[in-house]
Amino acid sequence: MQALILAGGEGTRLRPLTSAVPKPVVPLVDRPFIVFMIDWLRRHGVDDVVMSCGHLADGVRAVLGDGSAVGVRLRYMEEPKPLGTGGALKYAQELLDERFLMLNGDTLTDLDLTAQIATHERVGAQATLALYAVEDPSSYGLVRLGDDGAVREFVEKPAPDQIDTNNISAGAYVLERSVLDLLVYGERASIERDVFPRLVGNGLYGHVSGGYWMDIGTPERYLEATFDILEGNVATEVSERLGETFLCVEEGVTRDGRIIPPALIEAGCVIGAGARVGGRAVLERNVTVGAGTIIESAVVMEGARIGANCALHNCIIAAGVTIGDHCTINGLSVVGEGVTLGAGNQLSHGARLFPGVSLPEGALLF
């Protein structure tokens, strides 16, 4: 089975994590984010992946290569300009099979694609949408189905009196190649707005899936997805590393402090005396944590150095960051790659420091 992943967005809502790193390969727990999607696809029989890239495409290719390391054949299409979801689909047409999956590249999920493909085949659809039930669909577009599973109507940003279903599109589609005939090569288009409405009554179906689904496009959702992976709320290969204890501490970790699950601590980390890491914490490779520091509900990426007697909670620290002693970082704050933060600084309320910034001692009390 073949899949087309749309990964051309700039990831602006995740900046500064995506300021220098393409969103598809931003680290999530123990691997580039997009690898979670490839692992999921592979479990459902996908062995051929086409990645539609735009922003920082070379960075994606440099990390993922030809896909052999993640068990698939991986090829790339680079849009000459932003073409939208429909335009990107048409632009990739020379590489696409008669039937393929199309997926938005910014979700973490374990939806049952095998069952969705089976529904598509059973009803003889041109396109079958994965639908997911959310508690509050008011900020999404609703998808109304008939009794036979055919899509009857789309309702964008419904008013309260319009909400008669909580099924939304999960951004995973089974498509026949005939759908490409509804698009013009090189022209910007949206498959959701320009194609699917034209297929209503003409082979467009929905498949309602249970399981897990999360758009990780913001720091808040990035952290929520991280915690769900650590806690096993979504089916991933990480669960095998964590096991029943929900804890993975790799060989080569020096720890004089405490580690509380769920947590994943990569090789080369040093945890100082009296420090506490976890629960719900990730330390990537070669992170140093100073004595007496507390890190919980947080992600600290490769090579970061955290000083003594710091408190990190509900925050993201990018690779190569240096944080001085007695700093407090919380409230969904994000510290970008290579930032240097002097002692005694305080960040909260969603503060974001962009790559390469250097701040002296006590410069921020935010």
Q: What are phi and psi of 239, to 5 degrees?
A: -60, -35
Q: Is residue 201 part of a domain?
A: yes
Rounded to two decimals, what is the model's pTM? 0.90
Bridge partners (DSSP) of residue 281 are 263, 298
Residues 6+ away with beta carbon under 8 Å from 338: 318, 319, 320, 321, 355, 356
Say yes or no: 116 and 232 in one domain.
no
Say yes or no: 174 and 257 in one domain.
no
Say yes or no: 153 and 75 in one domain.
yes
Say yes or no: 230 and 139 in one domain.
no
Please give the Cα distance from 352 to 12 (Å, whole number).
Answer: 12
For residue 168, what are the domain limits?
2-211
Q: Is residue 199 part of a domain?
A: yes
Report the number of distinct structural domains present in the chain.
2
Among residues 181, 211, 241, the one where a domain terminates is 211
CATH of residue 236? 2.160.10.10
Radius of gyration of the chain measured on its C-alpha atoms: 22
**Band of pLDDT at residue 293, cut at 50, 70 and 90:** very high
Say yes or no: 202 and 296 in one domain.
no
CATH of residue 44? 3.90.550.10
* Mean pLDDT of the 271-287 span: 97
Asked whether 187 and 94 are in contact (CB, 8 A), the reply is no
Say yes or no: 147 and 47 in one domain.
yes
Q: Is residue 279 part of a domain?
A: yes
pLDDT of 161 > 90? The answer is: no
**Tens digits of residue pLDDT in 26-45:** 899 999 999 999 999 999 99
Please give the Cα distance from 276 to 296 (Å, whole number).
Answer: 8
**Tens digits of residue pLDDT in 338-347:** 999 999 999 9
**Band of pLDDT at residue 167, cut at 50, 70 and 90:** confident
Say yes or no: 259 and 315 in one domain.
yes
Q: Is residue 366 part of a domain?
A: no
Say yes or no: 251 and 347 in one domain.
yes
* The predicted structure's pLDDT at residue 228: 96
Q: Is residue 122 part of a domain?
A: yes
Largest CA distance in the chain: 66
Q: Is residue 364 part of a domain?
A: no
Please give the Cα distance from 236 to 131 (Å, whole number).
Answer: 20
CB atoms within 10 A of CB 311: 17
Say yes or no: 267 and 190 in one domain.
no
* Host H or E run for residue 223: helix 219-230
Please give the Cα distance from 225 to 106 (Å, whole number).
Answer: 12
Say yes or no: 255 and 146 in one domain.
no
11-44 as b/e, with b when 16 or more CB fall inside 10 Å?
bebbbbbbbbbbbbbbbbbbbbbbbbbbbbbbeb
